[in-house]
Amino acid sequence: MDTYLQFIILGLGLGAAYIALGNGLVLVYRATGIINFAQGAMAMWGAYVYAKLEIDGSLVLPVGTVPLGEPPSMPVALLIALLTAVVMGLAAHYLVFRPVRNAPALAQVVVSVALMLTIQALVVIRFGPNNIPVDTVVPNGSFGLFGTTVSSREPIMVAIMIVLSLLVWAYLRFTRAGMATRASAENERGAILKGFSPDRLAAIAMVAASAIGTTGVLLAASLTGLNPSNYTLLVVPALAVLLVARMESVGVVVVASVVFGAFQSVVNLLVTKAWWPTWAQSGVDQVIPFVVVIVILLLFGRRLPSRGSLQNVPLPDVNIPRIRPLPAAIVTAVAVVALVATHDIYRFGMTYSIILMLVALSYVVITGYLGQISLAQTAFAGAAGFTLSKVTTGWGMPFVPAILLCSLVAAFLGMAVALPAFRIRGAQLAIVTIAASLAIERFVFNNYSITPPSGNPIADPSLFGLNLAVRKGAELSRLEFSLTVLVVAALFVVAFVRIASGDTGRAFLAVRANERAAASVGIDVRLTKLIGFGMSAFIAGMAGCLIGYSAGQLSAESFSVFVGLQILAVAYLGGITSFGGAAVAGVIGPLGIVYVVMHQLFDLGDYYALISGIALILTAILNPVGIAGATRLQVGWVVRRIGKQARPEPAARVEGKAFSDVH
């Protein structure tokens, strides 16, 4: 019992971080209606600034470094870190979130994900990818509790965060600005008529959220050190806390965070017990947020509060695709020539672009056509890829049956994740899918009893005696494999066009536009969502199989949450509502041909993620239809102009001139 009590107390340190991030999420949501997936990354930046000041006295800025000589005292370093958090909050509000306050939920989710990726990439560039220590701001000590000596740091951390939570509660409850923030969440127009500026209220909330989040991450990082990936994704359990609090209760945020942190700590103790199953030792603490999210949304999804806004901006338009033989033949011929003309790494980049196009196409199906925001596509791809390793090396299954079976596994997993979509959509569904993706990554892909750290080998593909392996001897990227990938992708594109232009595609668009209206005309909304999730996961699963064959063996890094978010970024950047957008995403995606060329010429390294994140923010704000959509609009404008110039003068106008001349 003494050990359990000690682990409960240790879990309070993690609970303090959850309190901070949960309060930040509540503040931002109440003020803007946006669920800020970048909350953890924003808080992490200030903590890194503090750590670097304490290490060598350097004030690291996004661009440049100011050497301060000797490391400053702890209060001074803490003050500077909090000031950087204030600046971060203001910049995030005015440059990122303010332009999309009245945008669709998809644009808001995408822009917050883009901000997350941008800050995470910037942290890696400026501070490095490795774990760095953080000096504690809370004195070390211990005290007796129920006859057991426990650490005093963690309870002090929670006490600090409770005080800050009381300040947040008092601000929302008793100040005019706080009450206006609560009122604008229900009726933004009414707040404006009362003389309040929702924009100013949102800026205050964003600054407070950033400062409180930085404080919480600073406290927690003194126990574990700072890591860019872990603290960026700390927002996922904080999102679970947000849902438990029904997106509004500061008190529930505090209680849920403390319970959550303590429970996760105890689970980490239990997995070390001899009676705990070996296969469930890795990542089980990350399954807890997913289970909590599912339970809360299934029980209360329809009763979670929504924000009143001044307008509802529709999603980008969808052009129904058509199969055009001549353009399709030209594109295919160009792709074949490009694959034949390139070699080694450049051919691999071309091949990987085609595979990435399939992953992006799965986003087009589920998000562009069905309107469901899924952040779990790479988890589906990874499930198919790791299954492929088992069936090819363990069962000796041939190429075609193997990829079909593994893609079906991904499809069934996608339909299972789709079940919460029966009750929710928008940003809440994004929370479910990112929690599912993180749980699958940590519990399955990083589970050494299921996926050994040495990698998961995949048998080389062959068809009718023809070796389709990506490598053979000194040849690193064989043409046979590249052409196979092209054929598979072409078949999927044709199938997508046929489905999207048929009754199923129209049902997808009807559900995207208005679920109640779709149901009123006889469309089974639940079945349509199941089909959409299954279809998109099947496409992602096929891409996962091809990724496996291209690598020869798989590891968890191939299908991490960050990889999925990066592909979502380029899919939205290319154009989330069209096959053309998926093709653009494949070309500019990570490890695609543009990435390979730029890396060979300029050695971008971590700057690729930074550039793609900034480009995605600008696209979501300035050009929601993406690159392909903008190109289509420009081509349409040119065609209309040419047609107008070629068209003869209208008859009515000619007759009017003739009548005038006669008289």
DSSP line for 385-450? HHHHHHHHHTS---HHHHHHHHHHHHHHHHHHHTGGGGT--THHHHHHHHHHHHHHIIIIIT-TTT
Q: pLDDT for 135-145, tens place per residue?
A: 888 888 777 77
User: In whole angstroms, what is the distance from residue 286 CA to residue 301 CA?
Assistant: 21
Structure confidence at residue 351 as a pLDDT band (50, 70, 90): very high
pLDDT of residue 40: 92
| Residue indicated by tokens 């998109």 | 536
Based on C-alpha coordinates, what's the Rg of the chain? 27
pLDDT of residue 310: 40
pLDDT of residue 357: 92
Q: Which of 321-335, 418-432, 490-504, 639-653 has the highest mean pLDDT?
A: 490-504
Higher-pLDDT residue of 21, 144: 21
Sign of CA dihedral 26, 28, 33, 37: negative
**Burial level of 179, CB count in 10 A (0-12/13-18/19+)?**
middle
pLDDT reading at 201 higher than 80: yes
**Average pLDDT rounded to a whole number, residues 324-345:** 88
pLDDT reading at 548 higher than 80: yes
Closest C-alpha to 41, from 201, 226, 168, 200: 226
Among the residues of 128-195, which ranges form H helices? 153-174, 176-186, 188-193
User: In whole angstroms, what is the distance from residue 604 CA to residue 161 CA?
Assistant: 40
User: Of all helices (H) and strands (E), which one includes residue 113?
Assistant: helix 105-127
Would you say how long the chain is, in residues? 663
Number of Cβ within a 10 Å radius of residue 68: 15
Percent of the chain with pLDDT over 70: 88
| Residue indicated by tokens 């211990």 | 142
User: Of all helices (H) and strands (E), which one includes residue 577?
Assistant: none
Q: What is the largest CA-CA distance in the chain?
A: 112
pLDDT reading at 662 higher than 60: no
pLDDT of residue 422: 77
User: DSSP secondary-structure letter at 96?
Assistant: I
**Average pLDDT rounded to a whole number, residues 92-97:** 91
Lowest mean pLDDT among 278-282, 297-301, 543-547: 297-301
Q: Which of 222-226, 315-319, 556-560 has the highest mean pLDDT?
A: 222-226
User: DSSP secondary-structure letter at 466?
Assistant: E
Single-letter residue type at 553: Q
| Residue indicated by tokens 């052009």 | 319
**Average pLDDT rounded to a whole number, residues 387-415:** 91
User: In whole angstroms, what is the distance from residue 536 CA to residue 495 CA?
Assistant: 12
User: In whole angstroms, what is the distance from residue 18 CA to residue 11 CA?
Assistant: 11
User: Of all helices (H) and strands (E), which one includes residue 292?
Assistant: helix 284-300
Please give the span between the terminal C-alpha atoms of the chain, in angstroms, as a whole number: 108
User: Of all helices (H) and strands (E), which one includes residue 462?
Assistant: strand 462-463
Rounded to the nearest angstrom, the gap between the alpha carbon of residue 1 and the centroid of all alpha carbons in its chain is 40
Residue 67's DSSP bridge partners are 58
Give the three-class secondary structure for 338: helix
Higher-pLDDT residue of 452, 125: 125
Q: pLDDT for 353-396, tens place per residue?
A: 999 999 999 999 998 888 888 888 889 999 998 899 889 888 88
User: In whole angstroms, what is the distance from residue 453 CA to residue 449 CA?
Assistant: 9
**Average pLDDT rounded to a whole number, residues 127-153:** 82
pLDDT reading at 647 higher than 70: no
Sign of CA dihedral 89, 196, 309, 294: positive
Q: Which residues contact 422 (CB under 8 A, 6 or more apart)?
A: 526, 529
pLDDT of residue 644: 57
pLDDT reading at 650 higher than 50: no
Q: What are phi and psi of 145, to 5 degrees?
A: -140, 115
pLDDT of residue 420: 79
Contact 257, 274 (CB under 8 A): no
Closest C-alpha to 433, from 529, 530, 290: 290
Nearest 5°: the CA angle 543, 546, 552 is 140
pLDDT of residue 228: 86
pLDDT of residue 254: 93
User: In whole angstroms, what is the distance from residue 253 CA to residue 243 CA?
Assistant: 9
Higher-pLDDT residue of 569, 643: 569
User: In whole angstroms, what is the distance from residue 97 CA to residue 633 CA?
Assistant: 26
Structure confidence at residue 443 as a pLDDT band (50, 70, 90): confident
**Average pLDDT rounded to a whole number, residues 652-659:** 38
**Burial level of 151, CB count in 10 A (0-12/13-18/19+)?**
middle
| Residue indicated by tokens 């209206």 | 517
**Average pLDDT rounded to a whole number, residues 305-334:** 69
Higher-pLDDT residue of 643, 349: 349
Percent of the chain with pLDDT over 90: 28
Q: What is the mean pLDDT of the chain?
A: 82
Contact 318, 626 (CB under 8 A): no
Q: What are phi and psi of 66, to 5 degrees?
A: -110, 110
pLDDT reading at 659 higher than 50: no
pTM: 0.84
Sign of CA dihedral 61, 65, 68, 71: positive
Q: Where are the beta strands (DSSP E) in 513-630?
A: 553-554
Structure confidence at residue 122 as a pLDDT band (50, 70, 90): very high
pLDDT of residue 194: 65
Give the three-class secondary structure for 509: helix
Rounded to the nearest angstrom, the gap between the alpha carbon of residue 201 and the centroid of all alpha carbons in its chain is 27
| Residue indicated by tokens 């989710």 | 109
Mapped to the 3 state alphabet, what secondary structure does 643-656 carry? HHHHCCCCHHHHHH
DSSP 51-95: HHHHHHSEEE-SS-EEE-SSPPPHHHHHHHHHHHHHHHHHHIIII
Residue 75 CA neighbour count, 13 Å, CB half: 0
Higher-pLDDT residue of 196, 495: 495
pLDDT of residue 635: 47
Structure confidence at residue 607 as a pLDDT band (50, 70, 90): confident
Sort residue 315 into left (φ over 0), alpha (ψ -120 to 50) or beta: beta
Structure confidence at residue 309 as a pLDDT band (50, 70, 90): very low
User: In whole angstroms, what is the distance from residue 538 CA to residue 404 CA?
Assistant: 9
User: DSSP secondary-structure letter at 368?
Assistant: I
**Average pLDDT rounded to a whole number, residues 146-153:** 79
Residue 244 CA neighbour count, 13 Å, CB half: 25
